[in-house]
Amino acid sequence: MDWPWNFLVYSIILSLPALLFLIPRRSSNLGHDRLPPGPPGLPLFRNMHLKHKFGPVIWLRLGARNTMVIQSAKAAANLFKNHDISFAGRTTTEASQVYDYHKGSLALAPYGSHWRVLRRLVTVDMLVNKRINEMAFIRKKFLEKLQLWIEEEASKLKEGHGVHVARFVFLTSFNLLGNLMLSKDLVDPNSKEGLEFFTAMTGMIEWNGHANMADFFPWPWWLDPQGLKRKMKMDLGKALKIAARFVRQRMKDKQLGWISDHDVNIFILEIFLAGSETTSSTIEWALTELLCNPEKLIKAKAELTQVIGPSCRKIEEGDIEKLPYLQGIIRETLRLHPPIPFLIPRKVFVNAYAIGRDPDVWDDETALFKPERRVCAGLPLAHTMLHLTLGMLLHQFDWELGGDVTRGNIEWKDKLGITMRKSEPLLAVPRKCLV
């Protein structure tokens, strides 16, 4: 993944005198010998592919912080099966403490009774399977809206431009969750508020996922050397203001008592963020891979035509189990471009990005996009919208890269954040299929 090398090197050089006091000294503590192996000395800012030198479990010294990194599927399985509770504690960064976000967050809540109450609120009171299953007609309606939005946007395209697909998918997912949880559409993609909300939410993800020097060195937190807290305060403030209006309109006659209005807004915002951002970033990467692998795109469209028929018939949820190649595309995209590359911050890093490219698990061509190896019967309910959305986009439209972008010069770098989105948004040109 792409790291801000120039700034980091510059910062480390300026901080060198302070860092000399942070270099760990050898200790006679017997527990020290039981730590996993890892690079010694100064903080390490580079990609996490260190498995071949230090093994699947690595000990890293990041400034004043020490942390463990899990680098293989086998080690991750052992962690989650046998040691999950011991490492269940969450790490809160300086950016995540803006507006006390961490106090209302389900993802960052410490494991315990409060976390269990928040989780129950989601699984029992909001995202109940029965309610989700009963809302298939809502998902169908929003897929039709997404298609119309893209058709309308495509009709206005100028030469050399493309449609920002991820933005429309994000807002579609957001409105879908709005209907599921608050029984209403929340944003219009053509409105100023819709654009501001999308920009604020993507900013929040980026600032909260950046490597923040203030998290690793014991200098006064108020210095904010990279300006991440300032940026987070601006974008989170905008998003909370919009979210508060949604929640206030829906819950004006309800009181939860045990949770403040501010924490309710953060809690609802996080649910929307998790469901919308991961879906839109995965669809963006899947479409990028297909446009750069035209033989895979042709095969995917052929499968859709064979199973569904002409584009006059829309994809339905019952079609998904008959589309193994489409399933393979989604799974292969999640392998190569996991939406949350280090999972939710906790006392240990689980490097899903490296695990997805582990040659001990996959074949030698781990960097290649090969949906054939990921075909699997059955799909989790959580993936339904991914398959429906990608299936609709491929079945209803023919796609090509916009502007001067080609398979040879397309940007493959990732934007560092909590989720792993493309550093340069995919701008693609859709053309409505006529048959």
- Ordered by start, the domain boundaries in the chain are 5-432
Residue 398: the pLDDT is 94
Q: What pLDDT does 45 receive?
A: 41
Confirm if 177 and 150 have CB atoms less than 8 A apart: no
Tokens 């693609």 correspond to 428
Q: Quick one: average pLDDT of 166-194?
A: 79
pLDDT of residue 262: 79
pLDDT bin (cut points 50, 70, 90) of residue 49 is: low
Q: What percent of the chain has pLDDT over 70?
A: 78
Q: What is the pLDDT, as a whole number, of residue 96?
A: 83
pLDDT, position 364: 57
Q: What is the pLDDT of residue 18?
A: 43
Residue 7: what pLDDT? 45
Q: How many Cβ atoms are within 10 Å of 413's Cβ, its own excluded? A: 10
Instruction: Give residue 38's pLDDT.
Output: 77
pTM here?
0.79
Q: Work out the average pLDDT over 174-197.
A: 76
Does residue 51 have a pLDDT over 80? no
How high is the pLDDT of residue 298? Answer: 95
Q: What pLDDT does 315 receive?
A: 93
* Class of 5-432 in CATH: mainly alpha
Contacts of 434 (CB under 8 A, 6+ apart): 311
273 vs 75: which has the higher pLDDT:
75
Q: Tell me the average pLDDT across 380-398.
A: 84
Q: Is 326 exposed, middle or buried (0-12, 13-18, 19+ CB in 10 A)?
A: buried
Least confident of 243-247, 277-281, 381-385, 386-390: 381-385
Most confident of 10-14, 202-206, 353-357, 389-393: 389-393
pLDDT of residue 311: 77
pLDDT for res 382: 55
Whole-number Å distance between alpha carbons of 257 and 236: 24
**For residue 23, what pLDDT is reported?**
45
Find all residues with CB under 8 Å of 164, minimum gap 6, and list them.
425, 426, 427
Residue with tokens 């120039």, as numbered in its chain: 6
Return the higher-pLDDT residue of 118 and 33: 118
Can you give the pLDDT at residue 371? 63
What pLDDT was estimated at residue 423? Answer: 85
Q: What is the pLDDT of residue 126?
A: 65
Which amino acid does the sequence have at 98? V
CA atoms within 13 A on the CB side of 210: 22
Q: 78 or 124: whose pLDDT is higher?
A: 78
Reference 108, options 70, 100, 386, 334; nearest CA is: 100
Q: By mean pLDDT, which of 145-154, 350-359, 383-392 is the weakest? A: 350-359
pLDDT at 47: 42
Q: Output the CA torsion sign for 190, 193, 197, 203.
A: positive
Share of the chain above pLDDT 90, in %: 19
Which helix H or strand E contains 109, and what residues bound it? Answer: none
How far, in whole angstroms, is CA 58 from its chain's centroid?
Answer: 24
Q: What is the mean pLDDT of residues 71-100?
A: 83
**What confidence tier does 221 reach under pLDDT thresholds 50, 70, 90?**
low
CA distance 20 to 196: 44
Residue 20's pLDDT is 41
Rounded to the nearest integer, the mean pLDDT of the chain is: 77
The two most distant CA atoms of the chain are separated, in Å, by 75
